[in-house]
Structure formats: C-alpha cells, structure tokens
Chains A and B, each alone.
Chain A
Amino acid sequence: MKSKVLNILKKELREMFRDKKSLSMMLVVPIMIPLLVIGMSALFEMQMNKSVDDYNKIGFNYEMNEVEKQLAKQTKIKTILASEKELKEKYKNNEIDLYVIKRDNNYIINGEDNETTSYSSSLVENYFSLYKSYLQNEYLSKNNIPANNVINIINVEKNIKQADNYFASFITSYAFLFIIMAITISATYPATDTTAGEKERGTLETLLTFPIKSRDIIVGKFLSVSISSIITGIISLILTIISLMFANNKFSIYKDVNLMLSPTSLIFAAIVIIAYSFLISGLCIAIASKCKTFKEAQSALTPLTFISFFPGLIAFMINIKTTALYALIPFLNYTLIFTDITNGSINYLYIILMLISTIIVILSVLVVIIKQYKSEKVLFSN
C-alpha cells in the first residue's frame, strides 16, 4: 500500500498557493520585520546622537577672561553672562541648560536632573578640567617646575574592551522574537482553512470517502501547514538578516559591532525556525480541527499568538539564561536558543534538548488529531 500523504500534500499546497489570502498571510508579517529593525535603530540613534546645540547653553555669573573664552569656544560652549538672579530666571524658562556660579575659587554648577543635564554637565566638567590643567600649568611654570613631570607623574592607560553593544543585542533579540511571532500568525490561517474551512465548505465529507487512511489525511494537512510556516520563517529570517546588515552600515550606534550572524549560527537559526514551524502547525491544526466554523477557529487560535510571544518576551526582559530545563520548555526554549545563537554561543546540548521536546510535543499532538479524524467527531464537533 502506497502512502497517500503526498497526494493530500499536493492538493493542500495547490489550494493554498491559489488562495490570495493564504499567500498574503504568508508574507504580511515578515515584511513588518525590516520596518521594525530599521525604525527602532533610527529611534535609538536619535536618542544617542544629540546635537551639541541642544545642551550647550551655559550661564555664567562672572566676566570671563580671554583664556576662559578661548576654552569655552574650544568645547563648543555658548556662554551667557548674567547675574545669579537672572540666570535662575533664565534656567526656569529653559533658555539655558545649566549655569555656573562663582564664589571666590569655588565654581558651582547648578541645574536639575533631566534628560539633557547629563550631557550638559559632562560638557561643563570637561571645560573645567581643561581650565584647571591650564591654571596648573601656569602655576608650575611660574615656579620653574616642568609641568609635565607633575601632571603626568604617572600614566594611566585604558585598555577595556568594548562591552556588548546594548542596542545591538536589543535589536537582534526583538527581531528574532518577531520571526517567532510571524510564524505563529502565518500558521493560523492555513491551519484554519484546511480544517474548519474545509468542514464549512462541505468538502471534508468528500475527502473522508476517499480510500485514504485518516492518518495520511491529517499528516498531509500537517505537512502543508508546516511548509507554509517554514516559508514564512525563512523569508522572515532573510529579511531580518538583510535589514540588520543595512542597519549595521547605516546607523552609528552599531559602530564597532558586527550584526551579521556567522554561517553556523545561520544554519542553527534555520533549524530553530523549522522546529518551531512544525510545532506551531501541529498545535494550530489540533485546535482548529475541533472547531466547526472558520470564525470559531480563528478566535480559538488568537490566544496562541500571545502564548507564543510572551515567554520569550519575559525571558528577554528579565534576562534569563538558557539552562537544560528551560531548553525543554516549548515556546520559551526557541527564543532563548535564538538569543544564544545571535550572540554566537551555540550549545549543542540545548539544541538537541529543544529538538527532543519539540518532537515529543508534535507526536503527541498528532496522535490526538489522528484519533479525532478517525472518530466522527471531526464532522460533528458539538
């Protein structure tokens, strides 16, 4: 007896690729990913690279000498001279970003903590350290002591490697979380169409009179939905990589980081996508085949979209690291392992554990649906 899975698969795929709605569902969500990656990068960049004009208006309550003026110019400070009272007033009206009050040899930097203060204060601090070393040099040379000997009495060099770029890890993690969601959303439509939809259209009755084992029918349907989700997943992955590469060149926040995955990482990312596609397709079919109508199935599948998204989101937010146990938990494991892969750390044990847990879930889901298709419940599910 030849298996009829292929016949069913062929029929399902033909129907799927002829249905404009199925096709667009396959592509709509992946197209969102580049928008997300580039949009978020642009936002970060705007935050990071504040124009100096936004925070360089500093008020001084004393007359500056030539040297001070020179240094202010050098550090791009715009000086506003006024009395202390006037400066307070101006600061209140946001005309200046900070103001400096001089009492004898004490310079006091005034202001309130807000988003520009840190930029302004580091600007002012920089100015004063320059001015300070100028005065120190002056003093030393007046007393005939080589300034260099004192000021550079010891030499401190910074040799700290660039830590993980925060933005890079943020954007890649979210992009891959979105791939997971794209697969989920795009799996729901064909799964609904092939089960509840077929019931509603009245073609299921015909299908059940064909000389095909119910097992073959359901496996064919399962494979067709899986193929559609894998296509979505791979398209998403390609779009993600392209948009990450684009962002890498375009935005200075990713300077010195390489967002591109290594070929090995790419292969493993594809493996995760395929495993997840199978899992979600099985779950979608299992839920949708219990429903009588298209509408009912769609509303029953909506929670699945959130369930697929939340464990990963939470894990990412509270920064959970992969462990053997987590690698076994469906949904959570995919995002965790994805994050690991994008960081370049590939742990074969975790990947194998993930695959094992996926296979177990898929098999048990398939057993349930095959049972359901064998009994007449599939036709009369109330």
Chain B
Amino acid sequence: MLIVKNIKKKFIKYNSKKQKEEFLANNDISFEAKKGEVVGILGPNGAGKTTLLRMIAGILKPDEGNINFDGFNYLENEIEIKKNIAYLSGNTKIYKSLSTYELLKMCCEIYEVDKQKVESRIKEISKILNMDNFLYNKIENLSTGQTQRVNIARCLVHDPQYYILDEATSGLDIISSQIILDFIKKEKQKGKTIIYSTHYMEEAENICDNVFMINKGKVIKVGTPKQIKKDTNTTNLRDAFFDLIGGERDEK
C-alpha cells in the first residue's frame, strides 16, 4: 500500500522584479492507494500534479511529510522502492540510439532480473506488446505508437507493484492512448497499483477507482468518480471538474 502523508514542496521563483518568491507546489497533500487500485490525480495546468508524481517516483524530494510504500520510505530504502515502481510520463524519452532489445536488456540488468530469466522475460514482454517485428530496430526509427509500446515494455521488465503515469497519453492519438489504457486495465487486474494523472476526464472516468482533484497544490476533492458526480450534481466528470475548479477560477 502506498501512503502519502502531509507532503509539502516549495519552489523558489523569481518574480518580474527579480525578487525571490517562495511558491508551494504541493501544500499538505495526503492520500492512499491500495493494491489493485487505479488512482487518478486530476487538476488544472500548474496545480502541482507533476511535482506530486515526481516526488512519488523519487525524482524529487518533499520538503515535509513522507511517502511510504509497504512500510518502506525514500530516506532509508530508496533503492528497494525504486525497484518496485515504474514511472512513465508524456515528457520522458528513452535512449534512441539503442535497439528495443538492448534497452530492455539494460533495464533487466539495472533492475537485477535473474540472469537466466532475462531472455525469456524479454521474449514474453515482446509477445504481449506485439513487438517481435521491431525488437532489434533502433528506437529512433520507430513510429510513435511503437515507441509508446517500448516505453511500456521498459516499465514491465521488473514487474513492479506500482506504476506512476504522468499524462502518459498527452499528445497521443486515440489508438496509441488505447495501448496505454489497455495496459493500465490489465495491470489493475493483476493487483497492481496505478497512480495516474491526465487532462482527459472521459479517460479518468472510465478507468479510475478513486479520484483526487488537486488545485494550487491542495487536494480539493476526493472520491470515486460516481461519488464526485453525485456530490457536484453533475452527469460526468468533465462537468464536475468545471464545477470544482472553474468556480474557483472565476473568483480570482
């Protein structure tokens, strides 16, 4: 189980008068994600979603609070946690000069997959994601959809318990996005935990068990999509989003 407790993250910004300004990207955020659960982190641009997910993935360190994976935390067991998570974002890229096979083999080595099992593991993944016909091609020559599959394959190599996906479908067409959504559904059935951020409310409504709406670094609404719709008296999550976030904007 993933428990995120009271985390805060400060960034220093310079305003137009060149003065230092502290800016809370995440202000006291707490949530939990159980096994077999898909948790959606939703919010407008600049709400602090990416910062939150990067902290969960261990790329950034929170200033306060703690993140706990099955009793492990980053301060003491960084490597153990990282072995058990996979992080995929719309912005992350993979090493283009390597072939898919080389990339997966490298990941196997890094994640310390049993040496005897490396070949069979790569074959298995390649079969699941239908990558056999480009397994030995350099990644730079692959199409967007193929690259996306390689990206997922990289996350699957070490069979992690936690997947952290940050706007993984942003800028992708419906067919490439579908690959990712299918992958999320499959992993959920296996009892994996998926933390997931997106701007596409229809997608979130379909796939999330639990939704955390955040705005300006704070959680403003928690619940299942159903519950949120009920609470806001709307028929879909998109309208609920407008209700919760659009309203606050107008005040400003």
Interface positions of A (Cβ within 8 A of B): 1-2, 4, 7, 10-11, 14-15, 18-19, 201-203, 205-206, 208-213, 375-376, 379-380
**Given A14-B102, A205-B91, A211 and B59 contact (CB-CB distance below 8 Å):** no
B181 to chain A, nearest CB (A): 21
B94 lies within 8 A of A14 (CB): no
- Most chain B CB neighbours (cut-off 10 Å) among A11, A14, A379: A11
Residues of A within 8 A of B58 (CB): 208-209
Residues of A within 8 A of B78 (CB): 211, 213
User: Which of B79-87, B184-192, B204-212 participates in binding chain A?
Assistant: B79-87
B89 lies within 8 A of A205 (CB): yes
B59 lies within 8 A of A205 (CB): yes
- Which residues 44-68 of B have a CB within 8 angstroms of A? 54, 57-61
**Given A11-B106, A212-B110, A376-B60, A206 and B94 contact (CB-CB distance below 8 Å):** yes
B191 to chain A, nearest CB (A): 21
Interface positions of B (Cβ within 8 A of A): 11, 54, 57-61, 78-80, 82-83, 85-87, 89, 91-98, 102, 106-107, 109-112, 154
Residues of B within 8 A of A1 (CB): 79
- Most chain B CB neighbours (cut-off 10 Å) among A203, A205, A213: A205
**Given A205-B59, A206-B87, A211 and B92 contact (CB-CB distance below 8 Å):** no
**Given A205-B91, A209-B87, A211-B79, A4 and B110 contact (CB-CB distance below 8 Å):** yes
The listed residue (A210, A211, A376) touching B61 by CB distance below 8 A is A376
CA distance A20 to B92 in the complex (A): 24
Residues of B within 8 A of A2 (CB): 112
**What are 9 A-B contacts defined by CB distance under 8 Å?**
A10-B106, A11-B106, A14-B97, A202-B93, A205-B92, A208-B58, A210-B111, A211-B110, A375-B61
Apart from the given pairs A7-B110, A209-B58, 5 other A-B contacts in the complex at a CB distance below 8 Å:
A19-B97, A202-B93, A205-B54, A206-B92, A210-B110
B91 lies within 8 A of A15 (CB): no
CA distance A14 to B61 in the complex (A): 31
CA distance A380 to B9 in the complex (A): 14
Residues of A within 8 A of B95 (CB): 11, 15, 203
B91 lies within 8 A of A202 (CB): yes
A193 to chain B, nearest CB (A): 11
CA distance A160 to B107 in the complex (A): 70
B6 to chain A, nearest CB (A): 19
Query: Count the A-B residue pairs with Cβ separation under 8 angstroms: how many?
Result: 70
The listed residue (B59, B83, B111, B112) touching A208 by CB distance below 8 A is B59
Residues of A within 8 A of B59 (CB): 205, 208-209, 376, 379
Residues of A within 8 A of B54 (CB): 205
A213 lies within 8 A of B79 (CB): yes
A371 to chain B, nearest CB (A): 13
The listed residue (A18, A202, A212, A375) touching B92 by CB distance below 8 A is A202
The listed residue (A7, A18, A203, A213) touching B94 by CB distance below 8 A is A203
B12 to chain A, nearest CB (A): 10
Residues of A within 8 A of B107 (CB): 210
CA distance A205 to B58 in the complex (A): 10
B185 to chain A, nearest CB (A): 23
Closest residue of B by beta carbon distance from A10: B106
Residues of B within 8 A of A209 (CB): 57-59, 82, 85-87
Residues of B within 8 A of A202 (CB): 91-93
CA distance A142 to B57 in the complex (A): 112
Residues of B within 8 A of A203 (CB): 92-95
CA distance A314 to B110 in the complex (A): 48
- Most chain B CB neighbours (cut-off 10 Å) among A203, A210, A213, A379: A210
Residues of A within 8 A of B110 (CB): 4, 7, 210-212
Residues of B within 8 A of A380 (CB): 11
Please name the 6 residue pairs, one residue from A and one from B, whose CB atoms are nearest each other, closest first. A211-B82, A202-B93, A209-B87, A211-B83, A18-B97, A205-B92
CA distance A11 to B107 in the complex (A): 10
Residues of B within 8 A of A7 (CB): 106, 109-110
A210 to chain B, nearest CB (A): 5
Residues of A within 8 A of B91 (CB): 202, 205
B180 to chain A, nearest CB (A): 16
Residues of A within 8 A of B111 (CB): 210-211
CA distance A61 to B90 in the complex (A): 95
CA distance A240 to B61 in the complex (A): 50
A280 to chain B, nearest CB (A): 24
The listed residue (A15, A201, A210) touching B98 by CB distance below 8 A is A15
Residues of A within 8 A of B82 (CB): 209-212
A267 to chain B, nearest CB (A): 35
A199 to chain B, nearest CB (A): 11
Closest residue of A by beta carbon distance from B82: A211
A380 to chain B, nearest CB (A): 8
A189 to chain B, nearest CB (A): 15
Closest residue of B by beta carbon distance from A202: B93
CA distance A247 to B87 in the complex (A): 59
CA distance A330 to B87 in the complex (A): 42
B158 to chain A, nearest CB (A): 8
